[in-house]
């Protein structure tokens, strides 16, 4: 018996490692028609882990002080060994996290995986999406550049359009009337501690719900693609005769993660400044407003919506209604059919919504 085998047996007889591997890996069966879109969650976990690691490394040299923040970021980029690599990984990774999260939510939408009994899976995922946007927004201010300063000014200004509490919320977010050192301190605390801890907690809840409900069966390639849950009692969706998670789907997960890294490195090496306009390299100047300040690409649709309506309040109200509808979708769409081609009303609304979002994003970019 080899040394490794002896060590494994020693551990197995004490904690039942073999039983655990059988239950969670080799004996954990997935639908036979599972597809590559189910790997989006694994990719997101890898991205979140890398964001935490690179963020911790950046904290070694970053100074959250309005007089020193920009220079500390410049020092990281130019003087710290591999500092440019870590900072670029963190900045590009934050954009990739939003992009992959959008793909993940779209796959859940089109495969009907949000339907009963997975309402809590959907709601926790929707909360995660908003938390990722929040951590991206708060991180945007930290370099204390012209871009980050004025983009944050525009973003926090829009909250002021909410009746009665708008002015209070603006001052609460900024720590004063204007964006300043107090804003940087608040956004820094939110970005490095409060929001990441909340994301980790909600990710844990999301995985717990997935563990309790089981992996949903994709509707493609089935004769009957209707939701089989009757709503009378708890039922774990098992997949007898399915494929084991390990090694079969674990290999698919690793393949998807490798493809993601290829795409990530492609952006990193061939278009590293795609997310860094010229104003990102100029220190913040509260007395000089840039000519064309724009938010990040994932806020461009929101930005253009606010510009379309004559009142910012109506723009916010429309966006609030759309987000509420999206959050409550599992409670609104009670149909049993999951296949998207058998849900014509859903397809019209979903594709129309995606095209509208893309059109607003492009309009916002060129406006």
Domains and CATH numbers, the chain: 36-216+247-289 (1.20.810.10)
Say how far apart CA 110 and CA 128 lie, in whole Å.
19
Q: Quick one: CA torsion of 206, 210, 212, 218, rounded to 10 degrees?
A: 150
Say how far apart CA 108 and CA 126 lie, in whole Å.
11
For residue 45, the model assigns a pLDDT of: 97
For residue 97, the model assigns a pLDDT of: 96
Say how far apart CA 352 and CA 347 lie, in whole Å.
8
Say how far apart CA 150 and CA 220 lie, in whole Å.
47
- Give the residue among 207, 28, 43, 42 at the shortest CA–CA distance from 120: 207
For residue 289, the model assigns a pLDDT of: 87
For residue 311, the model assigns a pLDDT of: 86
For residue 336, the model assigns a pLDDT of: 94
List, for residues 164-212, the tens digit of each pLDDT value. Answer: 899 999 999 999 999 999 999 999 999 999 999 999 999 999 999 999 9
* Token output for 297: 């690409």
Say how far apart CA 147 and CA 269 lie, in whole Å.
23
What percent of the chain shows pLDDT beyond 70?
Answer: 100
Low-confidence ranges of the chain (pLDDT < 70): 1
* Token output for 243: 């494929």
Q: What is the CA radius of gyration of the chain?
A: 23
For residue 228, the model assigns a pLDDT of: 86
For residue 321, the model assigns a pLDDT of: 96
Neighbouring CB atoms inside 10 A of 204's CB total 11
Say how far apart CA 266 and CA 24 lie, in whole Å.
34
Say how far apart CA 203 and CA 276 lie, in whole Å.
29
Q: Three-state SS across the chain?
A: CCHHHHHHHHHHHHHCHHHHHHHHHHCCEECCCCCHHHHHHHHHHHHHHHHHHHHHHHHCCCCCCCCCHHHHHHHHHHCCCCHHHHHHHHHHHHHHHHHHHHHHHHHHHHCCCCCCCCHHHHHHHHHHHHHHHHHHHHHHHCCCEHHHHHHHHHHHHHHCCCCCCHHHHHHHHHCCCCCCHHHHHHHHHHHHHHHHHHHHHHHHHHHHHHHHHCCCCCCCCCCCCECCCCCCCCCCCCCCCCEEHHHHHHHHHHHHHHHHHHHHHHHHHHCCCCCCCHHHHCECCCCCCCCCCCCCHHHHHHHHHHHHCCCHHHHHHHHHHHHHHHHCHHHHCCCCECCHHHCHHHHHHHHHHHHHHHHHHHHHHHC
Cut 0.85: pTM above it: yes
For residue 355, the model assigns a pLDDT of: 98
Give the Cα-Cα-Cα angle 120, 122, 126 (nearest 5 degrees).
Answer: 115
For residue 23, the model assigns a pLDDT of: 86
- Give the residue among 280, 326, 114 at the shortest CA–CA distance from 210: 114
């Amino acid at each position: 018996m080899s040394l490794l085998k002896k060590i494994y047996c020693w551990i197995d007889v004490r904690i039942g490692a073999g039983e655990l591997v059988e239950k969670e890996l080799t004996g954990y069966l997935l639908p036979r028609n599972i597809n590559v879109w189910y790997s989006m969650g694994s990719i997101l976990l890898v991205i979140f882990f890398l964001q935490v690691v690179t963020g911790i490394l950046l904290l070694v040299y970053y100074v959250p002080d309005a007089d020193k923040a920009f220079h500390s970021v410049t020092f990281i980029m130019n003087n710290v060994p591999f500092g440019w690599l870590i900072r670029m990984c963190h900045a590009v990774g934050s954009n990739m996290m939003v992009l992959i999260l959008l793909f993940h939510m779209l796959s859940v939408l089109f495969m009907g995986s949000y339907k009963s009994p997975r309402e809590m899976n959907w709601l926790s995922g929707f909360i995660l999406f908003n938390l990722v946007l929040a951590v991206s927004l708060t991180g945007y201010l930290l370099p204390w550049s012209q871009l980050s300063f004025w983009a944050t000014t525009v973003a926090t200004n829009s909250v002021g359009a909410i009746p009665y509490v708008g002015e209070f919320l603006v001052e609460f977010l900024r720590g004063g009337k204007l964006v300043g050192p107090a804003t940087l301190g608040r956004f820094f605390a939110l970005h490095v501690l409060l929001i990441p801890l909340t994301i980790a907690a909600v990710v844990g809840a999301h995985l717990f719900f997935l563990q309790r409900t089981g992996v949903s069966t994709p509707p493609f390639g089935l004769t009957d693609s209707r939701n089989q849950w009757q709503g009378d009692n708890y039922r774990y969706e098992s997949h007898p005769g399915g494929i084991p998670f390990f090694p079969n789907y674990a290999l698919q997960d690793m393949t998807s993660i490798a493809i993601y890294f290829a795409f990530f490195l492609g952006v990193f090496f061939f278009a590293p400044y795609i997310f860094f306009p010229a104003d990102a390299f100029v220190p913040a100047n509260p007395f000089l407003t840039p000519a064309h300040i724009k938010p990040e690409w994932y806020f461009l649709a929101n930005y253009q919506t606010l510009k379309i309506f004559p009142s910012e309040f109506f723009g916010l109200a429309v966006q609030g209604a759309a987000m509420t509808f999206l959050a409550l979708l599992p409670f609104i769409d009670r149909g049993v059919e999951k296949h998207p081609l058998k849900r014509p009303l859903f397809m019209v609304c979903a594709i129309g919504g995606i095209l509208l979002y893309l059109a607003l994003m492009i309009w916002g970019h060129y406006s």
